[in-house]
């Protein structure tokens, strides 16, 4: 037997239903917020991710699904969704449309070559949005509201964490002060953090190591050293959230650790899934378009890890739906096929091709989760009639076939 690759999983039955329901729900909400669908390739040049996700990140450093294709190109299965969308944005020259706003949503598989463990697959799925051209803090607010609505719609209880990552004015001096603080305590930090002091000091702040976290309690906090403009935006964001009735906490250790991130950063966490608790993360990346050779364009977005929330989603109750059509003789089947075609214009229809008795068809209809079981036997055929049972109301009747052909419009 050929198995799926390690760390890759089929979505089937309940998983598939959940996945489809999540994507439909999120797509509907994204459209209501003015976002439109974008699809970008799963395979991209490796240097796209090196430049956007950053060489010092774990994703690029250790987890890239990278290989050389037959043409000798260094390519990579996308580890996240933002880089491809920004590349597409620049490639379509949308960065040259000064003052225009573009809002996109995407969903699909992402790949990271890491050691498979619970909650970590090599192929996983994300849903995300990216908003370009809107610098206002109201857009940050709107994305957070949108996430709150998404989790409410899915029946998942979450907490919201926010932070500000400053700008090119206030971040560099802060980073210097932080490096000074970290160098003084370097001996006591975990090996990862020791390495990060030189490569990516901001990332030290969100180290999951408990000893590191304790040592960082006294570290300088950017939220207290923001420039006037960043401080005004961050204060306004908090006021908007409070006015909207969205409870949040300011988490000064919530960082994204890449140079192009600035301003608002946010994360939604669920306490129902333990240590891997972030279910969505996002923030502003006003310099990313420049990093990918576009003209400076403000941007903000978020991504949701679908596998992380799959088990938590409260699914709507499944209901019987549509029609099951069955024949008791070969001649009756010939009469059913055009009927099925007619009904399928607006109804879910399952046809059993093998002629069977009534009892067998009722069983089939139940298994197909159909609302109606409709059967034609010899007698019905001679009168142009059809026997119908409503499996929900448990009522049955025989009606002229014509009548059924006309329900198509309903
Ligand atoms: Zn600033
Ligand atoms: Zn650490």
Burial 359-393 (b: 16+ CB within 10 A, else e): eebbebbeebebbbbbbbbeebbeeebbbbbebee
**pLDDT at site 268:** 96
Three-class DSSP category at 128: strand
CA of 201 to the centre of ligand 2 (A): 11
**pLDDT at site 276:** 55
CA of 122 to the centre of ligand 2 (A): 24
Ligand nearest to the CA of 194: 2
All residues with CB under 5 Å from ion ligand 2: 190, 193, 207, 209, 212
CA of 303 to the centre of ligand 1 (A): 24
CA of 164 to the centre of ligand 2 (A): 21
**pLDDT at site 251:** 93
Concatenated DSSP letters of 53-78: T-TTSHHHHH--EEEE-TT--EEEE-
Ligand nearest to the CA of 253: 2
Q: Enter the pTM of the model.
A: 0.92
CA distances from 194 to 50, 154, 184, 272 (A): 22, 40, 11, 32
Q: Are 165 and 283 in contact (CB under 8 A)?
A: yes
Three-class DSSP category at 207: coil
Determine whether 140 is exposed, middle or buried from the number of CB atoms within 10 Å of its CB (0-12, 13-18, 19+): buried
Q: Are 284 and 140 in contact (CB under 8 A)?
A: yes
Q: Which residues of the chain have pLDDT under 50?
A: none
Query: How many of the other CB atoms lie within 10 Å of CB of 312?
Result: 17
**pLDDT at site 258:** 67
CA of 262 to the centre of ligand 1 (A): 8
Q: How many residues does the chain have?
A: 410
Domains with residue ranges and CATH for the chain: 14-170+226-310 (3.30.930.10), 323-409 (3.40.50.800)
CA of 215 to the centre of ligand 2 (A): 9
Q: What is the pairing mode between strands 102-111 and 65-68?
A: unpaired
């Amino acid at each position: 037997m050929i198995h799926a690759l390690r760390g890759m999983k089929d979505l089937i039955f309940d998983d598939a239903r959940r996945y489809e329901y999540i994507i439909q729900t999120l797509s509907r909400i994204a459209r209501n917020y003015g976002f439109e669908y974008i699809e970008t390739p799963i395979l991209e040049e490796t240097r796209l991710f090196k430049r956007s996700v950053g060489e010092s990140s774990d994703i690029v450093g250790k987890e890239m699904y990278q290989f050389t294709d037959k043409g000798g190109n260094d390519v990579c299965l996308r580890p996240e969704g933002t880089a491809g969308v920004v590349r597409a944005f620049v490639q379509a020259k949308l960065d040259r449309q000064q003052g225009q706003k573009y809002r996109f949503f995407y969903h699909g598989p992402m790949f990271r070559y890491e050691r498979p463990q619970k909650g970590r697959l090599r192929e996983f799925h994300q849903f995300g949005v990216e908003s370009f051209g809107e610098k206002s803090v109201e857009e940050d607010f709107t994305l957070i509201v949108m996430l709150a609505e998404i989790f409410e719609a899915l029946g998942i209880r979450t907490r919201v964490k926010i932070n500000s990552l400053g700008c090119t004015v206030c971040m560099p001096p802060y980073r210097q002060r932080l490096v000074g603080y970290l160098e003084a305590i370097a001996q006591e930090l975990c090996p990862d953090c020791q390495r990060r002091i030189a490569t990516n000091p901001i990332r030290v702040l969100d180290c999951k190591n408990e000893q590191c976290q304790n040592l960082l309690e006294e570290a300088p906090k950017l939220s207290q050293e923001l420039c006037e403009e960043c401080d005004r935006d961050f204060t306004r964001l908090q006021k908007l959230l409070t006015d909207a009735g969205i409870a949040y906490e300011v988490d000064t250790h919530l960082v994204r650790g890449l140079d192009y991130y600035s301003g608002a950063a946010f994360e939604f966490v669920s306490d129902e899934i333990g240590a891997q608790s972030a279910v969505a993360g996002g923030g502003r990346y006003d310099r990313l378009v420049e990093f990918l050779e576009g003209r400076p364009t403000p941007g903000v977005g978020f991504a949701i890890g679908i596998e992380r929330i799959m088990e938590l989603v409260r699914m709507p109750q499944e209901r019987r739906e549509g029609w099951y059509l069955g024949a008791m003789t070969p001649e009756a089947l010939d009469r059913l096929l055009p009927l099925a075609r007619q009904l399928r214009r607006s109804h879910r229809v399952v046809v059993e091709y093998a002629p069977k008795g009534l009892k067998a068809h009722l069983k089939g209809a139940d298994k197909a989760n159909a609302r109606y079981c409709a059967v034609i036997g010899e007698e019905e055929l001679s009168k142009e009639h059809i026997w119908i049972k409503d499996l929900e109301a448990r009522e049955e009747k025989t009606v002229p076939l014509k009548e059924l052909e006309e329900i198509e419009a309903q």
